Structure 1
Amino acid sequence: MTFHVPTVDISPYVVDGGSPDARRPVAEDIDFACSTVGFIQIVGHGVPDDVIAGLANAMDSFFGMSPEDKRAFITPPSINRGYSAPKSESLSLSLGVESADRMNDFFEAFNVGAQASDYPSVELPEADYPSNIWPSDEFRAGVEAYYAHASRVARTLTRIFADALGVGSFDDLTDHSVDAFRMNNYALPPGEVHLEGELTGMGAHTDYGIVTVLWADQVAGLQVLGTDQVWHDVSPADGALLVNLGDLTARLTNDRWMSTLHRVKPPIVDGTIQRRRSAAFFHDGNIDAVIAPLPSHGSPLYEPVTVADHIRAKLAGSRGGTINTAAEREAARVAAALE
């Protein structure tokens, strides 16, 4: 079977007055994609081109700063905000997979996300909903404009998920979701790339929460692990956003839907990494929500876990270098992958 990332037009859920008859095939297509691949390309998402361009310009403005200036925005690993320098993370550790060279992921990133002040009617821990850090007003404007649309798209997708699974809604799991937005950059100055051993752009991992909405350049690098246990190249079509499921959705559906393993293997040209940018909006669910397989989905393969405990274990791996021992099923899938 040829590997293929399905494209789904979600506009019946985006436009006002989308009818049940128009929405039903969308939910069916999403169910098929989530069951067979775990990665989807969506069109009809309603994110304006100028908003995407504004995000790209904001990212360029920050990542174009000197390394010394960028390091001023580094935060402790437990705070998923601010700047992450190259080779300061290892996504494979979030899965419980030990890499040959710890903290070897050769990307840099800037993180923002949901703040406690975003949900004034709920008392939330600052440690889990920290305040954002903004390098400049211009950067903030470009990022916040896109963030609002990505948040809308993620919440639209969870409505589609609920219809596809026949569960009504996921509002009780997402009404104060601990969302995060990560902007990634793989273009590094000449001379900083050392070709000793295998260079990892971003190690093999699954995403942590419910659903991820990804904008990315049409540049080679992103790879998805297919059911054939082979890594396949994926690049977004014109105007499309990539969508993939997180661990918590796999747990909710008792692995009916897949939290698909993916990685980034940046192309090397004359000893330097080709420029590549991506921006991932992670819709992760309420920090106090308990995630367990839906009763309609068979004998549970997973023990119940709070979003807080799950996310902290994953971040302790990727950002803190502490191997995650609670990801046995995901780690086994990495080990089975054919290179």
Structure 2
Amino acid sequence: MLQLALKKVLAGTTFETGWIFLTKDRRKHEIVAQENLPASLSQNACHYLTKGGCWCLTKFHNNELEKASNIIECQRIELANKGEDTDESGITHHATVPLQSGQERFGLLNVASPNTVRFSDNDLALLESVAFQLGSAIKRILLTKQEQEMALVQERNRLARDLHDSVNQLLFSVTLTSRAGVEMSDEVMVKDTFREIQNLTQEALTEMRALIWQLRPKGLETGLLEAIKGYAEMLGLKLNIKVSGVLQFSSKIEESLFRLTQEALNNIRKHAGVTTADIIIRVTHSDILLVIKDEGRGFSVDSSVVLPSLGLQSMRDRTTDLGGTVDWVSDIGKGTEILVRLPY
């Protein structure tokens, strides 16, 4: 949407080039749209626009940029023009305007024209009008996304309730019936059959409860650690947890950490052959490190082949979506160590 909007803006105004930053926090920004950039700015995948700092972003983060403004000196353009590609576009200065809706701020729209060091008041007024429309559109998109996520959560909760109220209760009834069958019969083969039914049903019941947890994690409302401890207890696992740093995450990061730990604990219960595990969570100013270790059976890791389970693949997909990494250290008979690193 932003790329198309930027293209339309340049086509209908005297501005000839432009780029849009969206900001995640005070340390990170992302160029999400760019149009008709000079070679000096577009070289090396827009290196000079994606790395380092500049006046407009600094003022934006300090809440000192409230309206469309002329940039007297642009560090990014100066560095780009000193780069390897000779710049003959005449782009030396740009104008900037914050993208926002009410008090919520999303990023910056920057525009430039050849041989122009200062834009007129009319140009800046037009830029503010465009930025207002873009900010409103971004806000509507975010609200729509929130509604979709809320609908997904509600559907998961409904499925979890249905599974608990129907299938879960039926499995529990089968467990009680098979237990009674063991007591009612004197024949050894019949007793063994009922015991096998009881064991299989109990296993299915545990799997069902784990599935319900995956649909609707309990305990996150009281914190990540409580949720992890509750899930491990449900699986019959004992955890040794060590934490350093402050566990204060966004709801998205918190749920992702829980889901990653959940998958690792599932693998330990199903494959490791042990009932204890170590979890380490270390939070720094730049990233989050999550380590899950066990001393179980382990498996052979070969980076040249596909991952040995869908669970491990889902962990990699989840961390990649968040801009993080996940690695495994394991060997037959020597346990497994999973290391997850997420940007913070």
What is the TM-score when the length of structure 2 is the normalising length?
0.24
What is the TM-score when the length of structure 1 is the normalising length?
0.24
Structure whose CA Rg is larger: 2
Q: Which has the larger share of helix?
A: 2
| Bigger RCO (CA 8 Å, 6+ sep) | 1
